[in-house]
Amino acid sequence: MVAVSDINNDNNLDVIFVCPSKSIISTVDGYGNNSTFENQMKKISSSDFRLVSIAIGDFSDDNKVDFAVGNCGSGVSIFFGYNNGTFAYQTTYSTRANSHPNSIAVDDFNNDNQLDIVVTNEDVNSIGLLLGYGNENFANQTILLNQSDFQPFSITIADIDHDHCLDIIVANHKNESISVIFGDGNDKVKSIIQYSIGYSSRPYSIVLYDFNNDTHIDIAVTDDATNTINILFGYGNIQDIILNHYLLSLEISIMTYY
């Protein structure tokens, strides 16, 4: 997993990446000239757990780049940046023992101008929210969705229904569907709607974009059971947010690695 930001305050983009197989977080400094990078990786941290996702944000409200990683054990770890390419040692927040938090996303869900973290807890079938205080601290995880045998695998966020409140979209690897969790702008759930991707499908990853230029967010979902991408076209409201979600199905090759 890879994220990009200027972590050393030199106005050039750098790369932070996690290596799941080795449980290592490393960085590569960018020079900004013709997209060249330093030819040596810098190891930030290692972990006893397999690291599987990363998200960047300013979690301490100090205009320095921080990042969060999900590990395959039981938590989300936060690394606070010093603005020189180095980071403070991780602070970890529990997502429950053996929860396997495998995908995270960052945004302000309760409109307090502080970044929060949402996480898919794959092995306990839940979606968690950690509210940020902007002072290097987060609240304990609250559960937004808990449902048996849906195995949430990938998560992303957007204002799907144009109500100026962020919504959460989740690929459910085990029950052939995606879930759209509509937020109320106050860290609470307004409603949850589940949409089928098709019999024997295994939704794996999600990308959001306005594919048909109608100003409404659409959802692209990879299916690693059939090696296809399915496009679900949105209508900008809760009731008719998705229609004819097999309007486009592209045969692709999907690589899964661990």
pLDDT in tens, 20-78: 766 678 888 888 776 677 766 677 766 666 778 899 999 999 999 999 999 877 899 99
pLDDT confidence of residue 182:
94
Whether 102 and 1 share a structural domain: yes
Whether 16 and 80 share a structural domain: yes
Whether 70 and 153 share a structural domain: no
Whether 241 and 167 share a structural domain: yes
In whole angstroms, what is the distance from residue 129 CA to residue 258 CA? 25
**Residue ranges in the chain whose pLDDT is less than 70:** 21-23, 34-35, 39-41, 45-49, 238-258
Q: Which residues contact 61 (CB under 8 A, 6 or more apart)?
A: 114, 134, 135
Cβ contact 110:116 at 8 Å? yes
Residue type, 219: I
pLDDT confidence of residue 239:
54
pLDDT confidence of residue 258:
36
Whether 152 and 243 share a structural domain: yes
Which of 76, 106, 136 is the endpoint of a domain?
Answer: 106
Whether 160 and 98 share a structural domain: no
pLDDT confidence of residue 191:
92
The answer to whether residue 151 sits within a structural domain is yes
Whether 189 and 95 share a structural domain: no
Burial classification of residue 230, based on how many CB atoms lie within 10 Å of its CB (0-12 exposed, 13-18 middle, 19 or more buried):
buried
pLDDT confidence of residue 17:
82
Which of 78, 106, 134 is the endpoint of a domain?
Answer: 106
Of 45, 46, 64, nearest to 56 (Cα)? 64
pLDDT confidence of residue 40:
65
Whether 74 and 155 share a structural domain: no
pLDDT confidence of residue 28:
85
In whole angstroms, what is the distance from residue 99 CA to residue 36 CA? 39
pLDDT confidence of residue 181:
95
pLDDT confidence of residue 38:
75
Which of 79, 106, 133 is the endpoint of a domain?
Answer: 106
The answer to whether residue 168 sits within a structural domain is yes
The answer to whether residue 114 sits within a structural domain is no
pLDDT confidence of residue 47:
64
Q: What is the 3-state secondary structure (H, E, C) of the chain?
A: CEEEECCCCCCCCEEEEEECCCCEEEEECECCCCCCECCCCEEEEECCCCEEEEEEECCCCCCCCEEEEEECCCEEEEECECCCCCECCCEEEECCCCCCEEEEEEECCCCCCCCEEEEEEHHHCEEEEECECCCCCECCCEEEEECCCCCEEEEEEECCCCCCCCEEEEEECCCCEEEEEEECCCCCEEEEEEEECCCCCCEEEEEEECCCCCCCCEEEEEECCCCEEEEEECCCCCCCCCECCCCCEEECCCCCCC
> Number of folded domains in the chain?
2
The answer to whether residue 119 sits within a structural domain is no
pLDDT confidence of residue 189:
93
Whether 258 and 153 share a structural domain: yes
Whether 192 and 250 share a structural domain: yes
pTM for this entry:
0.88
The answer to whether residue 171 sits within a structural domain is yes
Whether 175 and 234 share a structural domain: yes
Whether 102 and 199 share a structural domain: no
What's the domain range around 94? Answer: 1-106
pLDDT confidence of residue 49:
64
pLDDT confidence of residue 71:
83
β-partners of residue 129 are 118, 142
